Structure 1
Amino acid sequence: MAPQRRAGAGAEAELPEYAGHYRLESLLGSGGMGMVHLARSTSGLKLAVKVVHAEFARDREFRGRFRQEVAAARRVSGAFTAPVVDADPEAERPWMATLFIPGPTLAEQVKRNGPMTPAQLRRLMAGLAEALRDIHRVGVVHRDLKPSNVLLAEDGPKVIDFGISRPSDSELRTETGKLIGTPPFMAPEQFRRPREVGPAADVFALGSVVVHAATGRGPFDSDSPYVVAYQVVHDEPDLTGIPQELAPLVLRCLAKEPEDRPTPDELMRELRSVAASYDTQAFIPAQRTGAEAAPPPSPRQPRRPPRKRLTRGALVAGAALVLAASGAASVHLAGPDGDPPAKTPAPAPSAAFGAWEAKPASGEGGMPHCSRGTDELLCARRDAVFALDPTDGGLRWRHTTSDRTVSRPPVVSGGTVQTSTAEDGLVEGLDPASGTPVWRRDVPEGGAVRYAGDTLLLTGADGTVTGVDGSSGATKWNRSLPGHGGTPLASFAADPLAYATSTSPDGTHTRLTAVDPDTGALRWDVRLEGALQAVGAGGGSVFLLSGDPRDGTTTGLVRYSPRSGTSLRVPLPVPRHDVRATVRGNVVHLLAQGGSLEAVDLEARKRVWHLETGISHGSAPVSDGRHVYVTAPDGRLLAVDARSGRLLGQTAPRLGAAADRVVASLPEPVVAEGRVYASAPDGTVFAVDGREPADW
């Protein structure tokens, strides 16, 4: 292929002029694996020609995947896909030519024109069901159905891009140890059992695509693909904005288990009962022909709701394990189409769930500290770690640490349950199925233990930080962080980095450093005004408490955005002592000494509500977007409306024999799947339905 010059830097500045005997006229788009050009056949037929990037053309494994893509696309060519006209997977730059289909992708359509009407949604859903029936009929699973892979033609939707599809009789498998796809449109089994993905995964993706078309967002949404992975596997979908007549069918498509989802044929039958005939209105208000026509005007988009975030309690025990449980050695997660925010869904526990309480450890030992694993509640109390059934509190396994006192909740990292003990500075990695020790690791004297995804971060008193592989306990990297001494790093649910903060002796400035926990590489380093402490990160920003180091008060909040290098500061109306804080979206919830609970919206730059709870001190607050939960020293669990700050309900005290003792550190509640798990001084671990706190 003779090269064709194009302005721009990089390897693709020199573009091919021909693919086979097809002259490439203009660039239609570019993706991670190749570029798509508009071309014409000798007879003048318009074609879309995909040419593989030069770097992948030299990769034998990728060539095998491209041959599979061509084979899959040829098998399903028909009324619901772009027919393959010609291809050469063995060329110096492999290429494939398909019939050019005028019209935007669904992603482009929603971005430019907003959500679809109910009639358009019915037609889209029916068209995609027909397309999947056609694809599955020839033994192919697409595995990457998403808005950017759906073309909106005048005669109905067309499914394109079979780059990671897999024929059922193919011996070529997805790269060992990798998950490939787009998290908001992947089915739970694509994270849990990626080598066992069947046609039902495409039906799950269809449900997600319909939600995107109806609302401009997905049913699961976050800035972090790891958090989305957790939501897909564990959380209920957010169907706010879906037409009432379609919502039950979409919900069935998004069932967690493949066998609970309808087949494409069942979808079409049920859609016929929803509407006797489908609206024949075209998908697009103004037809667009590739690069030849100007895009239609963009109407004003509806006001976007706050972004959905996972609580910190769900972070380590969930997001990391979702990916680790697949046995993946490395993970490739493509980003979602566009950047649509999501509303917080109403939690929906299983109908079989009922409130329960359990005492998994006998005798004295204080309040159990708990976190959520993949399908268990993990707790530690004094000299034991145990796993409970989250449905009824039944004991699954127990691991005794002898005379070593466990100092924090168990954490899932790298597929193992990890515990750290205070006296002898020991970290253990346990088998999540049995509690049997897998590995042990000493902590440097005077050091600190923190976790970030699949990496354990050990900080020594001399400031040396060691990154430890969570699955094996082996050292991944070791380095010093200039200017930070022995400051432990902090990590947060919606952000892949870890952060170190060190305040100058006079309290005039703080050094904030971002570290890649997987490699130890420094991503950025900045000096900010004032005495600051990192309490959250996500959405491209780091959230910090600002205070006076002389008396330990918190006087305000700071949001630092490293991309722009800017800081937003919001003062508190009244300085607060001994503050514990959590971040959800752009809202920071703070609980101070004396029980003052407040919410500060940094986007609005103001405190939005304040409540005096009356408790002397409490746990760090936890929010699921609808409620804010706090544990009191007497074992009560309080629920507050996240929008108004009104107290909605509380559980009974559970003091036991330790009524005259003050608990130094209160474990924060754990929120998962619409349930709230908490513990009390009498050793009780209990669970309540998070939907109606007034019934507690």
Structure 2
Amino acid sequence: MKLAVKIVHAEFARDPEFRGRFRQEVAAARRVSGAFTASVVDADPEADRPWMATLFIPGPTLSDHVKQNGPMPSSQLRRLMAGLAEALRDIHRVGVVHRDLKPSNVLLAEDGPKVIDFGISRPKDSELRTETGKLIGTPPFMAPEQFRRPREVGPAADIFALGSVLVHAATGRGPFDSDSPYVVAYQVVHDEPDLTGVPENLAPLIARCLAKEPEDRPTPDELMRELRSVAASYDTQAFIPAQRTSAEEPPEPQEPPEAGPEPKPLARRRGIRGRAALVAGAVAVLACGVLASVQLIGQDPAPGQDTTAGTAPAAFSAWEAKPAPETGGVPQCAYGAGRVLCAQAGLVYALAPADGTVLWRHSVSEEIPGGPPVVSGGLVQTSANGGRRLEALDPASGKQVWKRSPSGSGSVRYAGGTILLTGADGTVTGVDGASGETRWERRMPGVGSFVSFAGDPLAYATRASDDGSSTRVTAVDPGTGDVRWEARLEGMLRPVAAKGGSLVFLSSDWATGNTDAVVRHTPGTKSTTRVALPVPRQDAIAGVRGNVVYVLATGGSLEAVDLDTRQRIWHLETSVSRGSAPVPDGERVFVTAPDGRLLAVDAGSGRLLGQTPPRLAADTDRVVATLPTPVLVDGHVYAAAPDGTVFAVDARDPAKW
């Protein structure tokens, strides 16, 4: 693992103010680490020589790239603008203002732009003084308020800096150029920016970023909306430097139209080929989804569902549909009974896998769904309102077969043909999925809620010790409620998959909650394998295929861990600030981003392969709380987006998405 280490010079280490700024930088970098920055591995801001170590990111700075290759063309500039806007959105959401965004603080990695150097400026950048002391920032990329009232700098200052950075990328110079920083400061405060050479379709938007008053500048979300109106094929694909050493250079991306209608359905755009490299757009929230090959912690699989890749019908064409345009929220979808089954607020519906035709709709009141529909007992099962309402539907017609309203609150889990209801008092009830009748009921104090995995006959409950040093795992037969085996394993464990007679867990540190290892336990032999992660990961989730575990964490760190060799195969910083559970098919790994994009990564090498266009809701200022996990069936991927779209693409050729 390569690291980049920043060490403060002894001269500045003696400066309390400089130490304070460095301490702020470390804290800020940790908060946004991995999203659009280099992940912090370790740091000691209190050392005699304060230091911080981050993962090394290969790629030139924007400053170096412009020097070597000249200004960026319009298509690359749009992608850079979109990537940086998304970066600032996520940075600002965690309460951080960068204050020193400039070309030398933007790395052009193959998976997109990375923002570095938080909260600290070099002394040569801070020589201008006001009555309040040193100015923090770099004059050509500072906002007017940073000169006028530096103590009141907010997120809008980063937008101003973004405008200046984009002018530099488009022209090779800044909008306020002079050899004297004092002249630059005067121009920033009083003069209009020089946008000569900036592409005409982007100049008005960049000019808004450079407005003198903070309230007149767009927010990052507004920038992203405006970019979609600038180019119908708006995307955030990564900029790939022109100088490449690989013998296989990917083709240049086709230049999208400067303006036009919304993108056509996928079936009409399958011939458009984009770059293989991409910048991902957002996990660590509850990402609901049902897959055979992956199970999000604490969620349920579709019992009996086989979503591993198979032979795809030759006539399949990509499609997209909006089955419920009047209903808000992101569709939560699964596959079962030969249908794509989805739930949105107040609605459950079934789609034909071949073309997205709506087969039936069923109203379920205005409640928020408790996840995607699940097929159990041959019926389509839905739950809402914390498990206080259960409803089973005929998969052919969508008509109600039975309905049940359990008393009290608790968790609902589906395991094979049984629904497991766990009450707050520890009472577990097994309900027959076909009839809705109670099969069994018993007290299981301390067991908690269950998880189950497609193809595995048991359901599992875990309970960590008070000090987090161990976890008790209980395996239960869902049909009878009988306990099949129990084990106490080292560490605080969360089950993520059942494969080949073994259980796979993520192990977390008790104090921080960060995932620090992948664990496999085989009850038949009572053997346990533990593979430590090189860097602890925040709010990690995982997908498993064979002996390989794919771990995605907050900030976009995606890594593949081989449980047989006990080694990490590869690691990729995807820039996905949040993402769904990763879904592997043996050759590729699929992840859904908060803007509705479906991302594909090579499962063997970690190379980014392709992405679908973003599909944001009209109100992009709202954070998507629940990310739908993509569903993989017979070589097709079914996914959903915040604008209410459900779509399907060929899993075998992400470059054509």
Whether contact under 8 Å (2:472, 2:487) holds in the other structure is yes
Q: Is it true that 1:627 corresponds to 2:588 in the alignment?
A: yes
Whether contact under 8 Å (2:417, 2:432) holds in the other structure is yes
Give the structure 1 partner of residue 403 of structure 2. 440
Structure 1 CA distance for aligned equivalents of residues 336 and 455 of structure 2: 17
Give the structure 2 partner of residue 580 of structure 1. 541
Give the structure 2 partner of residue 684 of structure 1. 645
The Cα of 1:481 is off from its aligned counterpart by 2.3
Give the structure 1 partner of residue 483 of structure 2. 522
Letter in 2 for 1:434: S
- Structure 2 residues without counterparts, runs of 5 or longer: 1-290
Q: Is it true that 1:389 corresponds to 2:371 in the alignment?
A: no
Give the structure 2 partner of residue 544 of structure 1. 505
CA gap of 1:424–1:525, structure 2 versus 1, over 3 A, is closer
3-state SS, counterpart of residue 657 of structure 1? coil
Q: Is it true that 1:599 corresponds to 2:581 in the alignment?
A: no
Give the structure 2 partner of residue 401 of structure 1. 364
3-state SS, counterpart of residue 519 of structure 1? coil
The Cα of 1:313 is off from its aligned counterpart by 7.6
Give the structure 2 partner of residue 457 of structure 1. 420
Pairs within 5 Å for 1:36-55: none
The Cα of 1:573 is off from its aligned counterpart by 0.4
Letter in 2 for 1:355: A
Give the structure 2 partner of residue 655 of structure 1. 616
Whether contact under 8 Å (1:310, 1:624) holds in the other structure is no
Whether contact under 8 Å (1:316, 1:412) holds in the other structure is no
Structure 1 CA distance for aligned equivalents of residues 602 and 561 of structure 2: 14
Pairs within 5 Å for 1:33-432: 310-312=292-294, 320=304, 347-422=310-385, 425-432=388-395
Structure 2 CA distance for aligned equivalents of residues 558 and 424 of structure 1: 31
Deviations 1:573-606 (CA, angstroms, capped at 9, x unpaired): 0000011112221111111000111111111111
Deviations 1:609-644 (CA, angstroms, capped at 9, x unpaired): 111111110000111111110000000000111111
CA gap of 1:346–1:405, structure 2 versus 1, over 3 A, is closer
CA gap of 1:564–1:636, structure 2 versus 1, over 3 A, is same
Give the structure 2 partner of residue 288 of structure 1. none
Whether contact under 8 Å (2:301, 2:453) holds in the other structure is no
Whether contact under 8 Å (1:494, 1:539) holds in the other structure is no
Match for residue 572 of structure 2 among 608, 611, 628: 611
Structure 2 CA distance for aligned equivalents of residues 596 and 488 of structure 1: 28
Give the structure 2 partner of residue 297 of structure 1. none
Letter in 2 for 1:311: S
The Cα of 1:360 is off from its aligned counterpart by 0.6
- Structure 1 residues without counterparts, runs of 5 or longer: 1-308, 323-343
CA gap of 1:403–1:318, structure 2 versus 1, over 3 A, is closer
Match for residue 459 of structure 2 among 484, 498, 508: 498
Give the structure 2 partner of residue 558 of structure 1. 519
Whether contact under 8 Å (2:493, 2:506) holds in the other structure is yes
Structure 2 CA distance for aligned equivalents of residues 374 and 649 of structure 1: 30
Structure 2 CA distance for aligned equivalents of residues 501 and 320 of structure 1: 23
Whether contact under 8 Å (1:362, 1:683) holds in the other structure is yes
Structure 1 CA distance for aligned equivalents of residues 557 and 407 of structure 2: 37
CA gap of 1:417–1:506, structure 2 versus 1, over 3 A, is same
Structure 1 CA distance for aligned equivalents of residues 325 and 385 of structure 2: 21
Whether contact under 8 Å (2:537, 2:553) holds in the other structure is yes
Structure 2 CA distance for aligned equivalents of residues 623 and 636 of structure 1: 17
Letter in 1 for 2:375: V
Structure 2 CA distance for aligned equivalents of residues 390 and 621 of structure 1: 21
Deviations 1:14-33 (CA, angstroms, capped at 9, x unpaired): xxxxxxxxxxxxxxxxxxxx
CA gap of 1:373–1:520, structure 2 versus 1, over 3 A, is same
Structure 2 CA distance for aligned equivalents of residues 684 and 397 of structure 1: 16
Match for residue 630 of structure 2 among 655, 666, 669: 669
Q: Is it true that 1:637 corresponds to 2:598 in the alignment?
A: yes
Whether contact under 8 Å (1:589, 1:621) holds in the other structure is yes
Whether contact under 8 Å (2:304, 2:454) holds in the other structure is no
Structure 1 CA distance for aligned equivalents of residues 355 and 295 of structure 2: 20
Deviations 1:337-367 (CA, angstroms, capped at 9, x unpaired): xxxxxxx997432122111000011235211
Whether contact under 8 Å (1:313, 1:669) holds in the other structure is no
Q: Is it true that 1:488 corresponds to 2:470 in the alignment?
A: no
Structure 2 CA distance for aligned equivalents of residues 316 and 619 of structure 1: 15
Structure 2 CA distance for aligned equivalents of residues 624 and 364 of structure 1: 32
Q: Is it true that 1:475 corresponds to 2:422 in the alignment?
A: no
3-state SS, counterpart of residue 643 of structure 2? coil
Give the structure 2 partner of residue 534 of structure 1. 495
Whether contact under 8 Å (1:316, 1:453) holds in the other structure is no
Letter in 2 for 1:353: F
Deviations 1:179-237 (CA, angstroms, capped at 9, x unpaired): xxxxxxxxxxxxxxxxxxxxxxxxxxxxxxxxxxxxxxxxxxxxxxxxxxxxxxxxxxx
Whether contact under 8 Å (1:347, 1:691) holds in the other structure is no
Letter in 1 for 2:304: A
Structure 2 CA distance for aligned equivalents of residues 620 and 583 of structure 1: 10
Whether contact under 8 Å (1:361, 1:683) holds in the other structure is yes
Letter in 2 for 1:569: R
Structure 2 CA distance for aligned equivalents of residues 404 and 479 of structure 1: 29
The Cα of 1:526 is off from its aligned counterpart by 1.2
Give the structure 1 partner of residue 469 of structure 2. 508
CA gap of 1:320–1:347, structure 2 versus 1, over 3 A, is closer
Whether contact under 8 Å (1:658, 1:682) holds in the other structure is no
Whether contact under 8 Å (1:618, 1:633) holds in the other structure is yes
The Cα of 1:423 is off from its aligned counterpart by 5.7
Letter in 1 for 2:336: G
Structure 2 CA distance for aligned equivalents of residues 444 and 601 of structure 1: 44
The Cα of 1:418 is off from its aligned counterpart by 0.3
Structure 2 CA distance for aligned equivalents of residues 394 and 653 of structure 1: 22
The Cα of 1:318 is off from its aligned counterpart by 6.6
The Cα of 1:477 is off from its aligned counterpart by 1.0
How many correspondences in the alignment?
A: 365
Structure 2 CA distance for aligned equivalents of residues 506 and 496 of structure 1: 31
Structure 1 CA distance for aligned equivalents of residues 451 and 407 of structure 2: 18
CA gap of 1:317–1:542, structure 2 versus 1, over 3 A, is closer
3-state SS, counterpart of residue 694 of structure 1? helix
Whether contact under 8 Å (1:570, 1:602) holds in the other structure is yes
Letter in 1 for 2:398: G
Structure 1 CA distance for aligned equivalents of residues 399 and 537 of structure 2: 44
Q: Percent identity?
A: 59
Whether contact under 8 Å (2:413, 2:450) holds in the other structure is yes
Structure 1 CA distance for aligned equivalents of residues 461 and 406 of structure 2: 19
The Cα of 1:551 is off from its aligned counterpart by 1.8
Letter in 1 for 2:586: G
Whether contact under 8 Å (2:304, 2:455) holds in the other structure is no
3-state SS, counterpart of residue 618 of structure 2? helix
CA gap of 1:653–1:667, structure 2 versus 1, over 3 A, is same
The Cα of 1:656 is off from its aligned counterpart by 2.7
Letter in 2 for 1:668: T
The Cα of 1:403 is off from its aligned counterpart by 2.2
